[in-house]
Chain A
Amino acid sequence: MAKVTFNEESCKGCGLCVEACPKGILRLAPVRINLKGYHPAECADMNACIGCASCARMCPDVVITVEK
């Protein structure tokens, strides 16, 4: 069981984490936007997360914290 949390206000919706996730469980929030007007990244299926931190490694804005 693993968990990813997003510091949403730092996210710029670049999508690099979405591509990097081997499980394909990340996406940009379809509707919600942050204060800067970006759709922040979020996890669609936390149970499938394996805590590999690929997303966090590809994030240019240090948005993601990973627990395992």
Chain B
Amino acid sequence: MAVVFKKTSMLTDVPFHYCPGCTHGIIHRLVAEVLEELGVGNDNIIGVAPVGCAVFAYNYFNCDMMEAAHGRAPAVATGIKRVHPDKLVFTYQGDGDLASIGAAEIVHAAARGEKITTIFVNNAIYGMTGGQMAPTSLPGQVTTTSPYGRDTSHCGYPVKVCEMLSQLDGPAYIQRVSVHDVKNVVAAKKAIRKAFEAQIAGKGFSLIEVLSTCPTNWGLPPQEALKWLEENMIPQFPLGVYKEI
């Protein structure tokens, strides 16, 4: 028998620290598999992971990694890409990081057409800090800082990153995907690959928004969290390609 599925060499052998059933792990694997399959070589890839559940990404991705301040990964990645235009540069960010404190950085990296790829993990909550409301928390969603449910008249509406950034001319590829079932996991990998290919082709900025779960802070068992994502997040954040040049 031949091996048809095994762990990619783009992941180190450090076990993930993520909570049981958290789909960060799936997304890490997809990014790593794509990076391996692109064949550019570990030494030619530099990743940036800022503060958030994925702050330990430098332990997991088997390439050069930088840990950035909360929200600043696109700026750090800009500095790297300008120094090493030939290297593949990506950021791996959460929704609090990208859509809240780092909103200016992501908008301007996109507007500049910075030739980096951003993997944007949207789980509608601040995971690492214990479940606070995020810019992408859904109307009515209960979190530790919206205990009565997110009241849009009080603290506004979810930020739609793909829709927002696709209005700019700098981005070359923007797609929103999900990992709540096998079919979508396979589709997400294709999307991630297209984003990195856009970078390699020098077309401009690329971003993949991946709807993801947070069983611990949603207060749901892992399998129900996937269902919650499908029934609640996808209507709020429609999947699809938002920019492709």
- Interface segment, B18-26, B97-105, B146-154, B155-163? B18-26
What residues of A have a CB within 8 angstroms of the CB of B11 in the complex?
Answer: 62
Instruction: Please tell me which one of the listed residues A15, A54, A66 contacts residue B3 in the complex, with CB atoms under 8 A apart.
Output: A66
Q: Is B1 a contact partner of A20 (Cβ separation < 8 A)?
A: no
A21 to B, closest residue via Cβ: B182
State which of A9, A20, A51, A60 has its C-beta within 8 Å of the C-beta of B181. A20
Interface of A toward B, CB cutoff 8 Å: 1-3, 9-10, 12-16, 19-20, 38, 51, 53-54, 56-62, 64-68
- With A1-B1, A15-B223, A65-B6: A60-B182 Cβ-Cβ less than 8 Å: no
A-B contact pairs, 14 of them (CB 8 A): A3-B1, A58-B26, A58-B182, A58-B185, A59-B25, A59-B26, A60-B16, A60-B20, A60-B24, A60-B26, A65-B3, A65-B5, A67-B2, A68-B4
**B182 and A62 within 8 A (CB):** no
Closest to B182 in A: A54
B1 touches A2 (CB 8 A): yes
State A13–B222 Cα separation when bound (angstroms). 10
0 or 1 for each of B1-43: is its CB under 8 Å from A? (1 = yes): 1111111000100011011111111100100000000000000
Which residues of A have CB within 8 Å of B19?
A: 12
Complex formed: what's the CA distance from A13 to B1 in Å? 27
Chain B residues lying within 8 Å of A38, measured Cβ to Cβ, are: 20
B222 CB contacts on chain A under 8 angstroms = 14-16
Across-interface contacts of A66 in B (CB, < 8 A) = 3-6
**How many angstroms from the CA of A66 to the CA of B1 in the assembled complex?**
10
B20 touches A12 (CB 8 A): yes
Partner of A62 from B4, B22, B25 at Cβ < 8 Å: B25
List residues 41-71 of chain B with CB under 8 A from any CB of chain A. Answer: none
* Chain B 208-244 near chain A by CB (<8 Å), digits 1 or 0: 0000000100000111001000000000000000000
Q: Which 7 A-B pairs have the closest CB atoms?
A: A60-B25, A14-B21, A12-B20, A66-B5, A14-B20, A53-B5, A67-B1
Within B145-197, the residues touching A (CB, 8 Å) are 181-182, 185-186
B83 to chain A, nearest CB (A): 32
**Nearest CB to that of A3 among chain B residues?**
B1
**B223 surroundings in chain A (CB, below 8 A):** 15-16, 19
